[in-house]
Structure 1
Amino acid sequence: MSKLVDDLVTLARLSPAQLKEKWTGIEGCVPPSVPPGLLRRLIAQRLQERRHGALPAIVARELARIASQGVEPPPPRRQIRLTPGARLVREWNGRTVTVEVLEHGFAYADRTWRSLSEIARHVTGAHWSGPRFFGLTGNG
């Protein structure tokens, strides 16, 4: 094994106090106040950077710039509430699939089903997300 691999394997066995000593030896300063698991990963990153090189300064600056701008969270998923009596209609391979929403489940093909996914699997013969199959999500 290479020295780097040996060092990385050794990190897994170090106590929190030993990790702090290792950080001080590598960085020459007090370690950040983070959980031991994270400190272990930070040390591993530093060891790998020494062996293979760090990100170019321009890339690091660009990443820092992007991080400082913040990222907008994705819009909330729309909540679809199915009320008893509603009908879901889907065309599949030239056949119209009509499902009625019941108080507890769904009616399709003269049978009561627990979920839309069961119906979608029955109709297609493949695993489908029922809400996606019937167009109730933004992904379908």
Structure 2
Amino acid sequence: MTTHDPIPARLAALKTATTPELKAQWRELFDSEPPPFNRRYLESRLAYRIQELTYGGLKPETVRRLEWLGEDLDGGDRTKSRIRADTMPIAGTRLIREWQGVEHVVTVTADGFDWQGRPYRSLSAIARAITGTRWNGLVFFGLKRQRGRG
């Protein structure tokens, strides 16, 4: 008797699913609202989650190894390690924000952000350049809710 593995079909279906369908799957599989990232990000995280729930997650020793590699990569910088990878969009993502009637497009790069042809290390620096005031860049670009606001 052969058993049919439905997982490859579920993964293939992610490619043809509508964005609202992907978001509905996100709510079901993660029990949270989907992040405001691009479709490719949603597809890849959903594909991983589907497999993780079916076949199991990473082994504890693999998680420890990844944490060690991450610490080695960020030099033990606690501020960098506190930034969760799933709160930052992947390289190539375009963030669009309208401010006082002007549309601003920021492209996420491998080592930061690009706005108006200039590299920036943080979204907060770009938000300040746009507005002239201090902003949390994640809040300004809609990647994070402002504290105290639902």
TM-score, reference length from structure 1: 0.45
Structure with the larger RCO, 1 or 2 (CA within 8 Å, 6+ apart): 2
- Which structure carries more helix by proportion? 2
The higher radius of gyration belongs to 1
TM-score, reference length from structure 2: 0.43
